[in-house]
Chain A
């Protein structure tokens, strides 16, 4: 049973880079057919797809965030990471990592518990 755990600073200063890591346990990040995703939820709002990455390193980003986002994968550590640059208060959100089934389905089958990141000086 794959489990995901987000980690990273809960407080980031404006204009800095937000960095989060998702550790995958109970399975390999290199399993074919799955993409590793980041999704965020602003306080009291809906879900927003940030992007996802395949174990090979191919990444897809939300066009509205693409200029500020980098998602990377470390297969040796069974982790994937999110970097969001030039953050502002508008980036304050709960960030979820997730395992996405691709190809024949395109859906999330495992969610992390989420981590709250606040952007404030």
Chain B
């Protein structure tokens, strides 16, 4: 069973840059996995941030960016703001048509 890995938690100070990653328990993440990123605050449905590795969804501020860093997909928040404090989930598209979500990263901004 493929496991998608994310940091369970991360802390960043306001105005700083933070990079969250999305990896595989076995192997490397590439663009062919179409990594996408979602932001979720408590009690709300997720919001789509990034898709196809690095394309920002409509209305998403440009301080959010996506990339492949080494063997992982990455979400970078440049100049973190207080309202970026959320859970962040990545998901990878697997051959055969299945999807696997990472466990999510709880980002604290303080």
Residues of A with Cβ closer than 8 Å to B?
Answer: 39, 46-49, 52, 60-64, 96, 101, 104-109, 111-114
Contacts and interface: CB of A to CB of B under 8 A. Distances in A.
Interface string B75-110: 000000000000001010100111111111000000
A108 B48 contact: yes
A74 to B, nearest CB: 21
A60 B101 CA distance: 15
Nearest to A108: B48
Given A46-B101, A64-B1, A109 B45 contact: no
A69 to B, nearest CB: 12
A105 B101 contact: no
**Lowest 6 A-B CB distances belong to which pairs?**
A107-B51, A106-B34, A60-B97, A106-B93, A107-B36, A49-B99
Interface centre among B45, B93, B96, B104 (most CB of A within 10 A): B45
Contacts, number: 62
Contact of B102 (A46, A101, A104): A46
Contacts of A112: 45
Interface of B: 1, 34, 36, 38, 45-48, 51-52, 55, 57, 89, 91, 93, 96-104
- Classify the secondary structure of A's interface with B: strand
B1 A62 contact: no
Nearest to B104: A46
Contact of A111 (B1, B45, B97): B45
Contact of B51 (A47, A64, A105, A114): A105
Nearest to A66: B98
29 contacts: A39-B101, A46-B101, A47-B101, A48-B101, A49-B91, A49-B100, A49-B101, A60-B97, A61-B98, A62-B98, A62-B99, A96-B45, A101-B51, A105-B51, A105-B52, A105-B55, A106-B34, A106-B36, A106-B52, A107-B48, A107-B51, A107-B52, A108-B46, A109-B51, A109-B57, A111-B46, A111-B47, A113-B45, A114-B45
